[in-house]
Structure 1
Amino acid sequence: MTPITGKCKENTLESKMKDRKSELCSRYIKIFVVVSCYWIVSIVTVFVNKYLLSGASVNLEAPLFITWFQCIVSFTICFCLSKTGGIKGIFVFPKGTPWNKDTFIKIVPVSILFTVMIASNNLCLKYVGVSFYYIGRSLTTVFNVALSWLLLKQVTSKRCILCCAFIILGFFLGVDQESLLGSFSLVGTIYGVIGSLTLSLYSIYTKRALPFVNQEVWLLSYYNNAYSIILFIPFIILNGEYTAIWNYGHFDSTMFWVQMVTGGICGFAIGYFTSLQIQVTSPLTHNISGTAKACAQTVIATQWYSESKSVLWWSSNIMVLLSSALYARFKQVEMQVNSRRIVPEDEKSLI
């Protein structure tokens, strides 16, 4: 009886190991597919937006109107998913409505930051090349550290501050090299800096707003797009785009609307795959993936637009990319250390 029992245990252990290997293999395949989709959708979205904002085919000098329409597309998709409850077998869309007084009062500050953030990002992309877009918006990490200290009184480690210093150095080196190449846009760079600042503020206020929507990121995205449709209207008027819109002669073109809807779908898709990537991996892996994606995006852009860049220009990109990756790694180590001790609620980072 003993040999039979031992053999049964051995078979059971072997079966469990096979099941575990199969489960790990399935998980790695899922992660690979999600990360690949994130890369593809993110890079395609940047190129599609660049085409819409400054392409000769569209030729509509109304970047905020284009961004506003993308919000309408995203809102429409969210609205339909809210009514259907999501996509069966893929994900469940949380229930909720933005047309509630209490919800509006609590979420609209986040929506204002969301509106300014996506507006400044698209304005930056309109005036700078895709290859320089990452450098133009590379100060987000620096603003995160500064705002964490100013608003939350949170001290950052010296090595993380050193990473920020190298990011700033890489940013100014990139600006200098872009200027020497004759392709530098001061307006586009300013919009990039504003986009980085508002993204940092948006991160803080998003963390504060999530409890009001039961920690549902999709619900917050739904509300943000709903309110942004309204918030964009005064910005469009103040930017003087109504003249360009009124005089535009291709609103009857099917191709124009196909391009506009495609841009809106891409905007929605990048939001979905960003959330999905964080869900199947971790925030740190998402940051590293985003950094690596930015590197690939820069290389693709220089080849696509046949751009020739200097060694120092590439050095600025490498400096920013490596510093951002090291910062993410150092923060992960610090978070692991902090997780082993009890931290008072008011000392926890909201970023």
Structure 2
Amino acid sequence: MCGGLSYASHLFPSRLSFSAIDFSFGTALKILPLTVVFFAMIVCNNFCLKYLDVSFYFVARSLTTVFNVILTYAVLKKTTTLKALLCCGVIILGYITSVLEENGMGSLSVSGLIFGVSASFAVALFAIMTSKGLAHVGGNIWKLTFYNNLNSSLLFIVGILLTGEYKEFMYLPPFFSLMSLLFWSTMLVSGVFGFAISYVTSWQIQVTSPLTHNISGTAKAAAQTLLAALIALDFKSPLWWVGNCLVVAGSMAYAYVRHKLSMEAEQANAGDLKRVTTA
């Protein structure tokens, strides 16, 4: 898609503006660590959904904010305030509450829980590494999306071969049939949306921050939990919902604390700049 848009921009420069996409093996290698994390994120997400109910998916992936705090300190060497850490404590409390309730109802999968925690870690790491990956492509989101999707396509092919899932191709509907047309049309639409999500994710991280991306992802997952429970008529205990609410409340409080810190930092910088200009 990036190649097609780049070529169309070359043919119609007055109507379409798009960065030229030139493949560089060196750049692809530099983006590879980001792609490996992206690959792990997708795989862990899918396995989490495989072993757990959709309604529990949000809780299983709710530690993203906590891992973001840990990785921000470990990778970016940035500390976090006590208020922010207390918000993370509320998230962890909600996580433990919902997990214990899910286990009490007999629907908890340890494998799903492990994949959920792994996915949370991968999402937080991916958000931070995206900020660094943009530096290798001159801050161009389309180029980062191009290289990341190209690398991930190769990784998924290797994964399919190593796991033996290539045998599933024999169950595909025969070509030149209505079922085949419907299947490949659906796959094409899914691919376009997947590409769009990849681009929007990188764009959001670029114009905001890895934290903002993770907070918006938490809000989206909370909405998914509610919809999943309503659509599937999946009845949960009151304490299970209390755990979910604690996770949402902790995430919102964390976002508020970080927003206040950001505003205070901007005001301090503006004050310093004003003193310099008047001196």
Contact 1:128–1:188 (8 Å) recurs in 2: yes
Distance 1:184 1:112 in 2: 28
Which whole-Å CA distance do the structure 1 matches of 2:106 and 2:16 have between them? Answer: 47
For 2:92, give the aligned amino acid: I
Report the Cα distance in structure 1 between the residues aligned to 2:162 and 2:112, rounded to whole angstroms. 18
Aligned to 2:20: 95
How is 1:330-341 mapped onto 2 (pairs within 5 angstroms)?
330-341=257-268
Compute the displacement of 1:242 (Å).
Answer: 3.0
The residue type paired with residue 248 of structure 1 is Y
Asked whether 1:85 is paired with 2:9, we answer yes
Output one character per residue of 1:109-162: Cα deviation in whole Å (capped at 9) or x when no partner: 111111111222222222222211111111111111111222333221011111
Query: What amino acid sits opposite 2:184 in the alignment?
Result: W
Amino acid at match of 2:265: N
In the aligned structure 2, how far is the partner of 1:109 from the partner of 1:285? 22
Change (3 A) 1:277 1:214: closer
Q: Distance in 2 between matches of 1:334 and 1:139?
A: 22
- Describe the shift of the 1:179–1:89 C-alpha distance in structure 2 as closer, same or farther (beyond 3 A): farther
Note if contact 1:287-1:325 (Cα within 8 Å) is conserved in structure 2. no
The question of whether the paired residues in 1 share the 8 Å contact of 2:67 and 2:121 is answered with yes
Out of 250, 253, 263, the position equivalent to 2:173 is: 250
Give me the whole-angstrom Cα distance separating, in 1, the residues matched to 2:39 and 2:265. 34
Instruction: Give the stretch that moved more between structures: 324-333 or 284-293.
Output: 284-293
In the alignment, is residue 132 of structure 1 matched against residue 59 of structure 2? no
- What does 1:36-55 correspond to in 2, within 5 Å? none
Q: Which residue of 2 aligns with 1:228?
A: 152
Q: Mark the CA change 1:79 to 1:118 in structure 2 (over 3 Å): closer, same or farther.
A: farther
Return the alpha-carbon distance in structure 2 between the equivalents of residues 289 and 90 of structure 1: 33
Q: Is the Cα contact below 8 Å between 1:142 and 1:164 reproduced in 2?
A: yes
1:1-351 superposed matches below 5 A? 77-85=1-9, 92-97=17-22, 99-243=23-167, 245-250=168-173, 252=175, 253-274=180-201, 289-341=216-268
Q: Can you give the 5+ residue segments of structure 1 that lack an aligned partner in the other structure? A: 1-76, 343-351
1:163 positional shift: 0.9
Q: For residue 269 of structure 1, report the CA deviation from its aligned partner.
A: 3.3
Q: Output the CA distance in 2 between the equivalents of 1:88 and 1:323.
A: 48
Match of 1:70 in 2: none
**d(CA) in 2 for partners of 1:94 and 1:266?**
21
1:96 counterpart SS class? coil
Q: CA deviation at 1:91?
A: 8.1
Q: Give the root-mean-square deviation of aligned CA atoms.
A: 2.9
Whole-Å separation in 1 of the counterparts to 2:122 and 2:216:
22
- The one-letter amino acid of 1:130's match is V
TM-score scaled to structure 2, two decimals? 0.82
Q: Cα distance, 1:289 vs. partner?
A: 4.8
1:88, distance to aligned residue in structure 2 (A): 9.6
Q: Secondary structure at the match of 2:108?
A: coil
* Distance in 2 between residues matched to 1:162 and 1:180, nearest whole Å: 27
2:35 partner letter: S
Structure 2 counterpart of 1:155, which letter?
Answer: T
Q: For the Cα contact (< 8 Å) 2:97–2:243, is it kept in 1? A: yes
- Offset, 1:339: 3.0
Please tell me whether the aligned partners of residues 82 and 94 of structure 1 are also in contact (alpha carbons under 8 angstroms): yes
Contact kept in structure 2, 1:110 and 1:209, CA below 8 Å: yes
Q: What's the offset of the Cα at 1:181?
A: 2.4
Could you say what secondary structure the match of 1:109 adopts?
helix
Match of 1:3 in 2: none
Structure 1 CA distance for aligned equivalents of residues 7 and 42 of structure 2: 26
314 and 185 in structure 1: CA distance in 2 versus 1, 3 angstrom threshold: same
**Aligned length in residues:** 263
8 Å CA contact retained: 1:251, 1:257: no
Relative to structure 1, the CA distance from residue 84 to residue 158 in structure 2 (aligned partners, 3 Å threshold; closer, same or farther) is same
**Partner Cα separation in structure 2 for residue 235 and residue 271 of structure 1:** 20
- The answer to whether the Cα contact below 8 Å between 1:94 and 1:218 also exists between their aligned partners in 2 is yes
Conservation of the 8 A alpha-carbon contact between 2:130 and 2:202:
no
